[in-house]
Amino acid sequence: MTSQADQTQAGEPTFARDLGLFDATMIGVGAMIGAGIFVLTGIAAGVAGPASILAFALNGGVTLLTAFAYAELASAIPEAGGGYAFVKRAFPGAVGFTAGWMLWFAYTVACSLYALGFAGYFWEFFLRYTPGVAEMVFGVVGQHGASLIVTLLVGTLFIRLNARGAGVTGQAENVLTVAKLIILAVFISYGLRAVGAEPAQVTEAFNPFFANGMGGVFVAMGLTFIAFEGYDLIATVAEEIKDPEKNIPKATFISLAITVVMYLLILFVALAVRTPDGTPSWQFLGNHGETAIVRAAESFMPAFGVAVIVFGGLLSTMSALNATIMASSRVAFSMGRDRWLPRSVATIHPERRTPHVAIMLTGVILLVMAVTLPIEAIGSAASLIFLLTFAMVNLSVIVLRRKAPEIPRRYKVPFYPFVPILGIVLNIFLALYQFTFQPLAWYVTIGWVVTGLLLYYGYFEKQSAAVQPQVLEAPIPSEAATTDAVVVPLHNPDTAGILLDYANAIARSRQKPLVAFSVVEVPRQLPIHEGLRFVHHREGLVKAAREHANHNDMELATDLVVAHRAHDGILAGAKRYDADFMVMGWKGYTDTRDRIFGEVADKVIRHAPCDLALLKIEKARRPKRCLFPTAGGPNASLAAEMLNVLAPAFGMSVTACYVVPVGASDVERREADRWMSKTLERLEVDVEVERKIIEATSVAGGIALESRDYDLVVLGAAREPFLSQVMFGEIPEKVARFSPADVLVVKRYDGHVRTLLKRALG
C-alpha cells in the first residue's frame, strides 16, 4: 500500500530544495555566532570570572548532546518546523502544539533581539566615526527613536529578503557569515599575538579561576546558553535542504564545531590580554558589559580594530536575524499546515516557493515586539524556552525510537539512550537554575504557554481535527452485515486469491463468516468524504475477490473502507466487523530503508484487535510442504492451531524442526527433541509429521536455509520485551526476510493484557 510518507506529501504545499551542505552549515553558524558573542562575553565574565570560559565550554557540551538528537531526528524527519516537527510526531495533540507555540515565540523574540542589536551597533559606529550625523538624528527623534527606526528598517529588509526565496536567503547568509568569521579571525589573531608577547599575563589573568565560585559558572551558563541556539535552525529548514539524510547531520556538527572553537578562542583572548587600566581582565570585561569585546579590541588591535569589531557586530546581528527569520517562519508554516495556526499561514508562494504569509506574520510580530516590549526580560524567557524545548527534543528521540521504529534513520544518536537522557537532565537543570537569577523569565514563559493552550482548546484543536487522518463511517452493506468475522484486507490483485484461501480455511474451522475489504486511500489534505470519488479504484479488486470466492465455493462478504491512511482503514475494518481473526498479506522486504514489515504492517501488528496472521507470499499458490520451527513462546499454540487447520485444507505434509549449534552435544539434541515433542502435542491433524534437528550458527539463518525445500514456514511470534515496538521479534523477521518460501507468522491477541497495559499507562 501507499506509505504514509508518500500519502501525506501528495498535493500538500512543499518547498524547493535549494540549500546545500555549505548553505545549511552557514545557517547554523550565522545564527549561533550572532550578537550573543559580542553582547554576552562581558556579562558572562563579570558573573563567573575567568571560569566564564568553562561556562561556554560546558554549554557547548550540553548543546552537543541535543545536537545529536537534532541530527538523528532532522535527517529522519526532514520537515519544516524543526523541533516542533519532532515533538508533535512523538507527542501529538496539546504537547506538540505547545512545543511549536513556544518555539515560534522564542525564535521571534530572538529576531527582535538581533534587530535591536543591529541598531545598537549601527549607531555605535556613527557615534565613533561620524558623531555629527548621529547627534543630528538623535536631536530630531531621540536616541531611542533612532534605534527603533533602524530596527524597523533592518527587520523589514530581511523579512523581504526571506520572502524572495530560500536560495536567495541562503546566499545572503553565506556572504554575511563568511565575512563575520573573517573579522573574528582577525580579532583572534591579533589577540593571540598580544598573548604570545606576554605569556606570563595568561597565568595572572586566569588566577583565581573560579573568582565567583561554581555558582557563578552555572549563572553564566544560563545567561549565555542562547548564544548556542542556532544549529537547530538547520532542522527548521530541513524541507529545503538537498539530500537531508546526509547534509543535516554534517551541517549540524560542522556548524557547532566552528562556533564552539570560535567562542572559546574569542573568550580566551579577551580574558588573557592585559587591560588598559591594569584591572583584572574579567572585571574589566564585566564592567563594560555588552561593549566588552569592543573595549578589549582597543587594547591590542590597531586603530582600525574598533571599526572592524563594530562592523563584525553589524554582520553578526544581520546574519543571525536573517537565519532566525527563516527558522521562525518555518515553525509558523508547519503549524499552519497542521491547522494549529490559521490555514493561510501554510500558504506557499507559487513561484518563489517560500511561506510568504508565515514570513510576513512572523515579521510583523517581531517588529511589534522590538518596539514595544521589555525585550531583556522576554529575551531571558526565550533562552528558557529553548532549554525546555531541547529537553523535549531529547525525549522525542527516545519516544520515537519506540513509537516509530519504521522511520529510516541514516544517522543515530551514539550511546543511546544515555546521551538523550543526559541531555534531558542537563537542559532541565539549567532551566530550573535560571529561576534563581531570572524568575521573570519563568513567569513570561508560563504566561505564553497558558495563552497558547487556551487558544488550542478553544479553537485550534477543532481546526486541526478536521484535517487529521480519518476513516469514513459508511453504512455496512447488507451482504457484509455480520460480526465476529475472519477478515482479509486486500490490496494486491496477484495475491488476493491465496489470502482468501488461507482465510477461508480458518473461517470454516472457527465457524465464522468471512469478510474481505479493501482500503480506499484519500490524500490527507482532502476531506474524508471526498474519498467516495476514489472508490472505483478498488471496485475491480473487490469484484475479483467475489469471483474467486464463487469459483472456490466460498461464502464471502465484501466491503470498501475509505481512510486517510492505509493502516487506519485496515484497523477500522477489523473493528467494524468485530474481527475474530485477520489474515493480512505483506509484500516482503524491499530495501534497506524500510523496516522488515513496513510501516502499514507494523501499525496493524501493533494495534490489531484480534488474532493475526501475516503472510509473506513468494509463490502465490497453495503450499504442499510445510516447515514448522518449534521453540516454544507465547504464540506457539496458535501456530499449531493454524497447522491443524491448514494442513488438511491444503493437503500439506509437516516437518517439525529445532535449531541447535553446530557440533551440538547429546544433551542439546535431547533438549531439542523434548521441545519438538512438547510442541507437537498440540497438533491434532491426521498427517504424518517428520522431525528434523538443524545445525546452524544462528536460529533464523538455519530456518531460512532449510526452508529452501519447502513451500511454507509457519512461525509463532517471538516473546516480546515489555512495551517492545518490534512486535514479532527478531527471529521471525529474519526468517521472513531471507526465506525463499512463503512465511506465515501468527500472533494471538490478548485483549485482557492490552486493556490492563492501557489503563496502567493512562
SS (H, E, C) 424-461: HHHHHHHHHHHCCCCHHHHHHHHHHHHHHHHHHHHHHH
* pLDDT confidence tier of residue 469, bands split at 50, 70 and 90: low
What is d(CA 532, CA 68) in angstroms, rounded to the nearest whole number? 45
Q: Which residues pair with 471 in a beta bridge?
A: 563
Q: Which of 686, 649, 687 is nearest to 552 (CA)?
A: 649
**Contact by Cβ (8 Å): 216, 51:** yes
Q: What is the distance, to the nearest Å, from the Cα of residue 543 to the centroid of all Cα atoms in its chain?
A: 41
Tens of pLDDT along 20-51?
788 778 877 877 776 666 667 777 888 888 88
Which value, in Å, is the radius of gyration of the alpha carbons in the chain?
A: 32
Reported as a pLDDT band with limits 50, 70 and 90, residue 478 is low
pLDDT interval class at 329 (50, 70, 90): confident
User: For residues 710 and 742, what is the distance between their CA atoms, to the nearest angstrom?
Assistant: 9
Residue 721 confidence (pLDDT): 36
pLDDT bucket at 290, cuts 50 / 70 / 90: low
**Residue 8 scores a pLDDT above 60:** no
The answer, yes or no, to whether residue 727 has pLDDT greater than 70, is no
pLDDT the model gives residue 143: 72
Helix, strand, coil % over all residues of the chain, rounded to 5 = 65, 10, 25
DSSP string covering 480-512:
G---S-EEEEE--HHHHHHHHHHHHHHHHHHT-
**What's the CA angle centered on 244, arms 77 and 524, to 5 degrees?**
40
**Average pLDDT across the chain, whole number:** 78
pLDDT of the residue at 470: 58
What pLDDT, on a 0 to 100 scale, did the predictor assign at position 623? 92
Give the residue among 125, 175, 150 at the shortest CA–CA distance from 313: 125
Q: Is 692 helix (H, G, I), strand (E, B) or coil?
A: strand
> Is residue 588 scored above 80 in pLDDT?
no
State the pLDDT at residue 18.
56
pLDDT at 749: 82
> What percent of the chain stands above pLDDT 70?
81
CA distance 750 to 80: 40
Q: Which three cell numbers stand for residue 624?
A: 504442499
Do the beta carbons of residue 36 and residue 224 sit within 8 Å? yes
Taken as a whole, the chain contains a residue count of: 762
Peptide bond into 302 cis (omega under 30): no
Q: Is 384 helix (H, G, I), strand (E, B) or coil?
A: helix
Overall average pLDDT of the 699-722 stretch: 80
Residue with cell 534437528: 693
8 or 747: which carries more pLDDT confidence?
Answer: 747
Q: How confident is the model at residue 471 (pLDDT cuts 50, 70, 90)?
A: low
Give the mean model confidence (pLDDT) for residues 131-156.
79
- pLDDT at 504 (0 to 100): 94
Judge whether residue 574 has pLDDT over 80.
yes
Residue 502: band (very low, low, confident or very high) from pLDDT cuts 50, 70, 90: very high
Digit-coded pLDDT (tens) for 380-432: 777 788 888 889 989 989 988 887 776 777 788 888 889 999 999 998 988 88
Spell out the CATH class of 618-762: alpha beta
Across 243-257, 315-329, 596-610, 741-755, which has the greatest mean pLDDT? 243-257
Cis peptide before 244 (omega within 30 of 0): no
CATH class of 469-615: alpha beta
Is the pLDDT confidence value at 728 over 50? no
Edge-first strand listing for the sheet containing 611-616: 556-563, 514-521, 486-490, 581-586, 611-616, 742-747, 712-716, 625-629, 653-660, 689-695
Residue 668: exposed, middle, or buried by beta-carbon count in 10 A (0-12, 13-18, 19+)?
middle
Q: What is the pLDDT of residue 488?
A: 95
Predicted TM-score (pTM) of the model is: 0.59
pLDDT at 468 over 70: no
For residue 747, pLDDT over 90 is answered with no
Architecture of the structural domain at 13-435: Up-down Bundle (1.20)
Nearest to 339 by CA among 222, 451, 460: 460
What confidence tier does 9 reach under pLDDT thresholds 50, 70, 90?
Answer: very low
pLDDT score of 375: 61
- Section 738-756 average pLDDT: 75
The 10s digit of each residue's pLDDT in 663-708 is 889 898 998 888 888 888 888 767 778 899 999 988 888 999 999 9
617 φ/ψ angles, rounded to the nearest 5 degrees: -105, 125
Name the segment(s) of the chain with CATH classification 1.20.1740.10: 13-435
Confidence band of 360 (pLDDT split at 50, 70, 90) = confident
Q: Which of 133-137, 471-475, 496-500 has the highest mean pLDDT?
A: 496-500
Q: What is the pLDDT of residues 520-573, one digit of tens each?
A: 887 655 556 656 666 777 888 888 999 999 999 999 998 888 887 788 889 888
Residue extent(s) of CATH 3.40.50.620 domains in the chain? 469-615, 618-762
- Spatial separation of the C-alpha atoms in residues 375 and 373, rounded to whole Å: 5
Report the C-alpha gap between 687 and 394 in whole angstroms: 56
Q: Which amino acid makes up residue 278? A: G
**Residue 480: pLDDT band with limits 50, 70, 90:** low
Examine the pLDDT at 724 and tell me if it is beyond 70: no
One-letter amino acid of 389: T
pLDDT at position 168 is 53
Q: How far apart (Å, rounded) are the C-alpha atoms in residues 304 and 321?
A: 26
Percent of the chain whose pLDDT exceeds 90: 13
**What integer pLDDT is reported at residue 377 of this predicted model?**
65
Query: At 498, is the pLDDT very low, low, confident or very high (cuts 50, 70, 90)?
Result: very high
Alpha-carbon distances, residue 211 vs 51, 183, 208, 271, 308 (angstroms): 7, 31, 6, 13, 31
Average pLDDT for 706-723? 74
